[in-house]
Amino acid sequence: MRKVLSLLMILAGLSIFFYPAAKDYYTSYSQEKMIDTWEDNGQENKVAAESLRELEEVFSMETHAESSVDGVPPAEKQEAEKLPAENKKESKQKLSNGIVGVIEINKIGVKLPILNGASDANLDKGAGLLEGTPAPGMPGNSAIAAHRNRAYGSMFNRLNEISKGDTVTVRDKGNTYQYEVYETLVVEPHETSVLNGSQDEKVLTLITCTPIDTATHRLIVKAKIKP
């Protein structure tokens, strides 16, 4: 019995002795994990912010292209029409990584493929998921961009008609996600705060240019996934 008591006392003493060191180790480990997560999220935000800057160039190109249709001299239009078929083929090949889903907004008659990346080539075909943001349905802030064209109902042309409480549906091959709009706003093109997100929520951010003719600002629609 005495041996058992002695052993228990020794174990208790060792526990008291090693407890501070073990606690320090666990605390340091937890802090390292938190820092790693923060750094990973920061890197993702940098990639997303860079995608947003590239998107500004794409929207600017679209505005210039539309104004060219109305205002560029015929000679320049003819030059554009003379582009070799090889160049047109190359342009089609620039679609990056294919379709990742479909976005539907019944209120404004939108049904577009979502392509991986918001490049000029992708946005010519549909909507683009900004690089550095998670796929729809995943935790964080999924950012999807599309053009606004003069043709009624084209792309995100009627996105300004969306209001709080409206539903946005996103489908991939295996799932359907429904989001409820909670905010719409207009921001400067370089405003990256619209890409902020948290791993505790699933947010969808829709981005397009406004006004249609000049594209000086960005129209933003924010939505949260429905339970």
Active-site residues, by number, are 147, 209
Nearest-10 Cα torsion for 125, 129, 131, 137: -150
Question: What's the CA angle centered on 97, arms 170 and 125, to 5 degrees?
Answer: 65
- Report the C-alpha gap between 154 and 127 in whole angstroms: 11
- Report the C-alpha gap between 119 and 109 in whole angstroms: 23
List the one residue out of 94, 103, 99, 101 whose CA is nearest residue 121. Answer: 94
Cβ(144)–Cβ(127) under 8 Å?
yes
